Structure 1
């Protein structure tokens, strides 16, 4: 491993405050941490649009572990940076673990074991091209859901009874975190929204 690559990795990990995240990583059971690492590898390989930290966090909390989605997202960003930097530097499994150990000695043993295993099994498959890094500056659409509701009352009116549509967009941001964005529309607004989608589809058919 080139000394320059190790130095860059060390400085960047310190800037990301890996030591500060170590306590939270300790809380995550090994199987959940392994799943997080697997999702990150798949995202870096462009097999999935992002890492669903909200869904994973909910499952971890259901198992009785107290951790919030913000902390899990920070951990996901750190591991994603670790894997992508190691891929760009062509680090072997031992070089990665050595660099990680020299920089962050406070990581729990089970986390280091998972990182070692995942990198050993799938590290060579990651291809972090310059073009991919340069174009990953906007979010990526993942899914859309909508439901029809009826507003029954408000603070200013006892009986509204008007229909509305709630739209939820699932989006992966440039860092790979998947989040839900929800908003409400009146039925006429939703019809216009749908019409614009049909117009876009018609244009795309001509491309």
Structure 2
């Protein structure tokens, strides 16, 4: 995991967002924390902000999402009401604008109790999950695992969500026999799961 970003810098980036976009971002995060969304896709959020004319890079958007997730999760764990949450945010950074804190207050008043309830349930069972798997067949030009050129290989891309809902991507390559074994194991898992 990357180091925690500078809170004041992240709050300054939040201040660049129009109130409606900030409210939408908070709402997506709160829906995730209530279990109504499985993931928060940073790339999707970045595209939405860029479409609105804001030029924030991936790390800046990730910082905003992480800071909001952290604060909403902490507020749920500590069972804070909206007034106390806004006070704590103001104590953590003097860069919060009044309108931004009003959005947080309103959304936490509406969603806070549901987030608290879901986070208590989730604390009993925390796991990540596979969101998507993509594969493609290619021809090796050079590789550590293929002995000769022009050997077929399979490239795998896994889209995974950790327990916080953050999306990550893992990619790797396999020879065709390795992929066939991988596929066979998946079929065995599927047949076992059907009996459960």
Same fold, TM-score > 0.5, yes or no = yes
Aligned pairs (5 A) from 1:110-189: 110-126=99-115, 127-130=117-120, 132-133=122-123, 135-136=125-126, 138-151=127-140, 153=141, 160-189=149-178
Q: Deviations over 1:161-188 (max 9, x none)?
A: 5443332211112332112222233333
Aligned pairs (5 A) from 1:3-18: 17-18=6-7
| Alpha-carbon separation, structure 2, partners of 1:86 and 1:171 | 26
Aligned pairs (5 A) from 1:23-102: 23-102=12-91
Question: Displacement of 1:18 after TM fit?
Answer: 2.5
- Asked whether the 8 Å contact 2:76–2:119 carries over to 1, the reply is no
The answer to whether the aligner puts 1:106 opposite 2:95 as a matched pair is yes
- Pair 1:147–1:114, CA change in 2 (3 A): farther
Partner of 2:146: none
- Asked whether the 8 Å contact 1:54–1:179 carries over to 2, the reply is no
- Pair 1:150–1:102, CA change in 2 (3 A): same
For the aligned residue pairs, the C-alpha RMSD in angstroms reads 2.8
Question: Displacement of 1:134 after TM fit?
Answer: 5.8
| Alpha-carbon separation, structure 1, partners of 2:135 and 2:98 | 44
SS at match of 1:176: coil
Gaps of 5+ in 1: 1-14
Q: Deviations over 1:66-104 (max 9, x none)?
A: 322222222212211211222233322233223323443
| Alpha-carbon separation, structure 2, partners of 1:22 and 1:188 | 50
Gaps of 5+ in 2: 144-148
| Alpha-carbon separation, structure 1, partners of 2:63 and 2:179 | 35
| Alpha-carbon separation, structure 2, partners of 1:31 and 1:197 | 44
Question: Displacement of 1:148 after TM fit?
Answer: 3.2
Question: Displacement of 1:117 after TM fit?
Answer: 2.5
TM-score, with structure 2 as normaliser: 0.78
